[in-house]
Amino acid sequence: MVVNSFIQSTRALLAKFGIDAPDIRIEGLTLDSRDVNTKTAFVAVKGHERDGRDFIPQAISLGARVILAQTDDSQAHGQMEMRDHSVIISLYQLPSMLSALAAAFYDYPALKMMTVAVTGTNGKTSTVQLLTQLKDALGTRSASVGTLGSSVYEGENTQWVTTAAANTTPNAIRLQYVLAEFVQCEVRHTAFEASSHALVQGRLSQVKTDIAVFTNLTRDHLDYHGTMEEYAKAKRLLLDQPGLEAVVLNVNDSESQNWADYLDANAAKDGSSEEIAISKPRVTRVWTGFEPTDDVLATHKQPQDRHCFATNVSYHSSGIRFDLVSSWGTAPIELALFGSFNVSNTLSAISCLLAQGERFENVVRVVNGLQPVPGRMEVFPVGGSASVIVDYAHTPDALEQVLKSAKTHTAGKVWCVFGCGGDRDKGKRPLMGAAAEQHADVIVITTDNSRSESPESIASDIKAGLQRPNDAVEEADRESAIRYCLDSADENDIIIVAGKGHEDYQIIGTQQTDYNERTVVARLQQEYKK
Annotated binding site: 31, 33, 120-126, 167-169, 195, 201, 203
DSSP 285-342: EEEEEES--HHHHHHT-STTEEEEEEEEEEEETTEEEEEEEETTEEEEEEES--SHHH
User: Dihedral of the CA atoms 147, 152, 157, 160 (nearest 10)?
Assistant: -30
In whole angstroms, what is the distance from residue 397 CA to residue 435 CA?
A: 8
Q: Measure the CA–CA gap between 53 and 70, rounded to whole angstroms.
A: 8
DSSP codes, 195-245: -HHHHHTTTTTTS--SEEEE----S--HHHH-SHHHHHHHHHGGGG-TT--
Contacts of 528 (CB under 8 A, 6+ apart): 382, 385, 486
309 vs 224: CA distance, rounded Å? 34
At 225, the amino acid letter reads H
Residue whose C-alpha is closest to residue 244's, from 151, 349, 352, 150: 352
Q: How far apart are CA 123 and CA 193, in angstroms?
A: 10
Residues 6+ apart with CB under 8 A from 479: 520, 524
Q: How many CB atoms lie within 10 A of CB 525?
A: 17
Nearest Cα to Cα of residue 136 among 320, 374, 370: 370
Contact (Cβ atoms closer than 8 angstroms) between residue 367 and residue 151:
no
Q: CA triplet 526, 527, 530: central angle to 5 degrees?
A: 80
Which residues carry a binding-site annotation for ATP? 120-126
**Could you give the CA distance from residue 54 to residue 388 in angstroms, rounded to a whole number?**
47
In this structure, are strands 80-83 and 114-119 parallel, antiparallel, or unpaired? unpaired
Measured at the CA of 383, the angle between CA 381 and CA 387, to 5 degrees, comes to 35
d(C-alpha 342, C-alpha 223), whole Å = 28
Please enumerate in sequence order all residues whose Cβ is within 8 A of that of 69, keeping only pairs 6 or more positions apart, or say none. 44, 53, 56, 88, 89, 90, 91, 94
Q: Residues with Cβ < 8 Å from 407, sequence gap 6 or more? A: 414, 439
Is there a contact between 354 and 348 (Cβ–Cβ < 8 Å)? no
